[in-house]
Structure 1
C-alpha cells in the first residue's frame, strides 16, 4: 500500500468514525464519507463493496485493544482496562453509535458492533482474569461485572454531565482498588518503573 493510499484509507476511517460518533450509523453512507473525507466515491467503492464493509474496517481499527504485557500487575491491568474501555467508546461508536446500539435502530449495525465489542471485551476480561489469578488465586471476583461497572460508570458520567471529567479513570480505579484491596501505590510505582 502506497503512502497516498494509506492516507486515503485513514481519511475514510476518520470520516466514517466521525459520522458514527456524532450522527449514528444511518449517517454513515458512502456519499457522506466521501463528502467528509474528500475521497472520491469511486475510490471508496474500490476499497469497500458496501457500507457494512466500510463500517467493519473502520470499527475494527479501534476495537483491537493495545497489547499489555502478560506480567503486568493487577493495578496496571485495571488501569489499562479502564483506559481501553473509555477509548473504544470515545474513538469508535460515540454517542451516535451508542444510541443506535441501545435502540437497535439499525439492526445490521447492532449486530456488527456487538460482535466487535464482544471480541474487545473478551480480550480485556482475559487480561483482567490473568492478573487477578496471578495476584489473588482464591479471588471469586466476577470479572464480567467489573467490566460492566467500568463501562457503566463511564456511560453514566457522560449521560449525567455530557462528558467524563479528566480524572474519571483515577476516580473509577480508586473504587476498584478499594474493592480489590490493591493500592494505587502499586500502579504508580509500576508505571514509573516501566
Structure 2
C-alpha cells in the first residue's frame, strides 16, 4: 500500500502540479481511504516529499578518490532531485510544517536527514583514511555546508542553480570540511614543551 500511495502521488504531481494536489485525489486513485494516508503521513507536504524525493533509491555512493570528487558526485545527485518544479513548490511548505510540528520534525530528522548524514560520514571516513583530512569532522556540519547551501539556494534565495554553481558549492564545502578537520586536529594536540614551560622570573 505504501508504494501505491507514493506512486499515485508522483503521478498526480506530474499531472496537476503540487499546489493543486489533494489527499482526496491520491486516496481515490490509489483505492485507499484517506485515513490510511494520514496514518502514514501527517500532511500533503510530507506525503509529496516522500513521493518525490525520499522514496527514490539512492545510487551507490561514488568513490572518486578525492574529497572534492565525492562531494561533487553527491551534490549533483541531490541537485537533480531538489531542482524539480515539484520539489521547489513543496519544500517551503514542508519547512513551514516542520517548524510547528515537533513529531514531523523528529521523523524527518530520523529518516531523510539521517540517511543523508550517513553518506557524509562515509565520505569523511574515506578522506581521512586517504590522508586528505587531518581527522574526522561532524557529518552534520558537512551536511550543512553542502546540502544546506544547496537547499538555501534553491528554496530560500530562488537562484537558478546550474552545474557551475553546484561545482562551486562542492569546492567550498571541501575547503570548509578540510579547515574544520585541521582546526579540530590542532585543538586536540597536546601543548608542546615550550607551551608548557613555566615563565621564569615569577614568584
Q: Give yes or no for TM over 0.5.
A: yes
> For residues 44 and 148 of structure 1, what CA distance do their matches in structure 2 show?
38
Equivalent in the alignment of 2:130 = 135
Larger Rg: 2
Match of 2:198 in 1: none
Q: Matched residue pairs, number?
A: 164
Gaps of 5+ in 1: 1-5, 182-194
How far the C-alpha of 1:169 sits from its partner, in A, is: 1.0
Could you say if the C-alpha distance between residues 122 and 161 of structure 1 is closer, same or farther in structure 2, counting changes exceeding 3 Å?
closer
* Map of 2:153 onto structure 1: 157
The alignment status of 1:145 with 2:141, answered yes or no, reads yes
Q: Provide the C-alpha distance between the structure 2 equivalents of 1:109 and 1:118, rounded to a whole number of angstroms.
A: 12
Give 1:67's aligned residue.
Answer: 60
RMSD across aligned positions (CA):
4.1
Q: Deviations over 1:52-97 (max 9, x none)?
A: 42639636413x5321255754233111332344455456652221
Residues 52 and 13 from structure 1, CA distance in 2 versus in 1: closer, same or farther, beyond 3 angstroms? farther
> 3-state SS of the aligned residue for 1:44?
coil
What's 2:38 paired with? 51
**Contact 1:16/1:28 (8 A) holds in 2:** yes
Give me the whole-angstrom Cα distance separating, in 1, the residues matched to 2:97 and 2:70. 30
Choose from 69, 81, 87 the match for 1:76: 69
Structure 2 unmatched runs, 5+: 42-46, 180-203
1:99: how far off? 2.6
1:125 to 120, 123, 131: 120
CA distance in 2, matches of 1:13, 1:98: 20
Partners of 1:16 and 1:33 within 8 A in 2: no
Give the Cα–Cα distance (whole angstroms) in 2 for the partners of residues 132 and 122 of structure 1: 15
CA distance in 1, matches of 2:115, 2:15: 20
Quote the Cα distance in structure 2 between the aligned partners of 1:29 and 1:110: 22
Provide the rounded CA distance (Å) in 2 between the counterparts of 1:100 and 1:121.
Answer: 20
What does 1:6-21 align with in structure 2 at a 5 Å threshold?
10-15=7-12
Which of structures 1 and 2 has the larger relative contact order (alpha carbons within 8 angstroms, sep 6+)? 1
**More helix by percentage:** 1
Deviation at 1:114, TM superposition (A): 2.3
